[in-house]
Structures are given as C-alpha cells and as structure tokens.
Structure 1
Amino acid sequence: MLTITEFQVENIKDPFRILEGKRYEYKLDIEVPEDDELYSENGLFVRALYSDQEDGGKLVKYDLYEKSTEAYLDFDLEDDEVQVIEAFCRDHLGDAEE
C-alpha cells in the first residue's frame, strides 16, 4: 500500500471553458514498502489530474515518476491504491491555488 507524504495541487485554468467543471493537477510524493514492485531508492511521485464537476469528481489520469530523475514509470497502480489517490485528491480540492 502506498503512503502520500507530501503534495502540491494547482487549479488548471480553462479561460475558454472548453472543459466542463474544474480540473486540478496534483503532484503527490509517495512511499511504498521495499518489497513492492514500485519501490525505488530514488523515491516516487504521482502526477494526477482530477476533475470536479457538479455531479461529482473523479480521477481522470495519473502517471508515476521516479523522484530524483523525473523518469516516467510505466506501471499501473492497484485498484485500492487508485482509490487512495482519488480520495486524497477529492479531500484536498480546497488546497488548490486559484
């Protein structure tokens, strides 16, 4: 199971109102156990896009990166880990800079 240790969130501006609702970009520093296939001594972060609309919010996309090199990692998270990311994003919408 992953643990979110630090985060940044930013409101993605859409001046032309092309997208419905609001979009947020998160950068989540995560820790995973050493026995997890995702583990990296260099650390990991998740870049996540979250959509907040009138009928509810959802995680649109996420990507994993190695922290020190910012190299993209082609891994999928487990369903329960995706749910942790989605719940975290939903719970921290108010922290976004406008």
Structure 2
Amino acid sequence: MLNITEYTAELAKDPFGILTGKRYEFFLDLDIEEDDELYSENGVAIRAIFKVDGNQAGIIRYDLIERSTGNPLDLDLEPEEEEALATFCKEHLPEEE
C-alpha cells in the first residue's frame, strides 16, 4: 500500500486551450520500507498527472522518481497501488482558482 507522507497538487495550465478537461499535477513523497522493491536510499516520490473531464477522472501518467536526485526509477506500481494513487488524487484535488 502507498504510504504518502507529503504532497502538493496544482492545476496544470493549458496555455493553448487545446486539451479537454482539466489536468492536475501531483507530487507525492512516499515512505517505503527497506524490503519493498520500490525502496531507494534517496527516497521515492511520484509525479502524477490526473485528468478530470466531466464525470470521468483518472491518472493519465505517473513517474516514480528518486526524491533527492530527481532521477526517474524504472519501476511501476502494482495495480492496487495505482488504484490507491488515483483515489488519493481524486480526493485531494486543489480548489478552483
């Protein structure tokens, strides 16, 4: 399960107005146990793009990154972790500006 310690979320601007719906960029810091395959000494974070378009909402893309270096990790979340990530993002959308 994902143990999110901190997060930020903001509306991603669409300067050209060509994308449908709204997109939000999330940065989430994770607390990973040493015996987990996602573990990194440098810490692990997720950068996720979440789309809301009418009644549909979901993760468009996510990347796992080393927190201290910003380097991408060549790993994927398990399906239940992806679902937990989508639920977290949906429940923590920033308020409209």
TM over 0.5: yes
In structure 1, distance between residues paired with 2:30 and 2:96: 21
Contact 1:5-1:28 at 8 Å conserved across structures: yes
In structure 2, distance between residues paired with 1:41 and 1:16: 40
Output the amino acid matched with 1:58: G
Output the amino acid matched with 1:78: E
In structure 2, distance between residues paired with 1:96 and 1:31: 26
Paired position in structure 2 for 1:65: 65
Instruction: Give the secondary structure class of the aligned counterpart of 1:58.
Output: strand
Paired position in structure 1 for 2:82: 82
Paired position in structure 2 for 1:47: 47
User: Root-mean-square deviation (CA), in Å?
Assistant: 1.3
2:20 is equivalent to residue 20 of structure 1? yes
Paired position in structure 1 for 2:11: 11
- Percent identity at matched positions? 51
Instruction: Give the secondary structure class of the aligned counterpart of 2:41.
Output: coil
Structure 1 gap segments, 5+ residues each: none
Paired position in structure 1 for 2:91: 91
In structure 2, distance between residues paired with 1:96 and 1:67: 26
Deviations 1:24-82 (A, max 9, x none): 00000011221111101221100000000102201000000001111110101000110
In structure 1, distance between residues paired with 2:46 and 2:96: 19
Contact 1:7-1:28 at 8 Å conserved across structures: yes
Shift of 1:17: 1.9
Structure 2 gap segments, 5+ residues each: none
Contact 1:10-1:26 at 8 Å conserved across structures: yes
Instruction: Give the secondary structure class of the aligned counterpart of 1:24.
Output: strand
Output the amino acid matched with 1:23: R
In structure 2, distance between residues paired with 1:53 and 1:97: 14
